[in-house]
Structure 1
């Protein structure tokens, strides 16, 4: 089973075990018990994320996603106040230059707002 499928199907008890892991090695053992392969690097990164969530700190990726500028499946994630040089108003009356009023905004992509302009695609 891949990591994303496992996390989507994990029970509350399984998620509690994941969040309670004290080390990357413990997390790797737990993953293997559920037929999920986790590299040492992936386990270490996951432990950093678990630790930052426990302390309330946001990771760099979390901060990028909140501020706009992160990528999801190659699309630039934006917020309502984010703006860029490719802004295209939906009408002349909506010319303030922020993404919430742009023709390239896709507001329903996997729960995120993303920019569909080709120049903003991640390479």
Structure 2
């Protein structure tokens, strides 16, 4: 009986350490602290067009040729809403787009000044 208690204690400790180690790597999902905030970085739409946001500068490029399609500026009207002024290089037009940042900061839900809606997903 005297040997059982230390053995059980060591076994319990080994299982506890193993469980802690497994929980750190389980699922390979980003932890809450690794989810980006704001919009700086690259985003992609359903057609593969890549939008880049950095320090108030906005641009879009085709995914295959990397040709610049539009450029412009963006600013936050509040912490969840971004206003983009975009100049289309292809069409030679200027338009405004309002985008709401999703709750998990992984998607932008956008509406252009002409009423069309689209979404952008964060490129990780």
Question: If the length of structure 1 is used for normalisation, what is the TM-score?
Answer: 0.26
Structure 1 or 2: more strand by fraction: 2
Question: If the length of structure 2 is used for normalisation, what is the TM-score?
Answer: 0.26
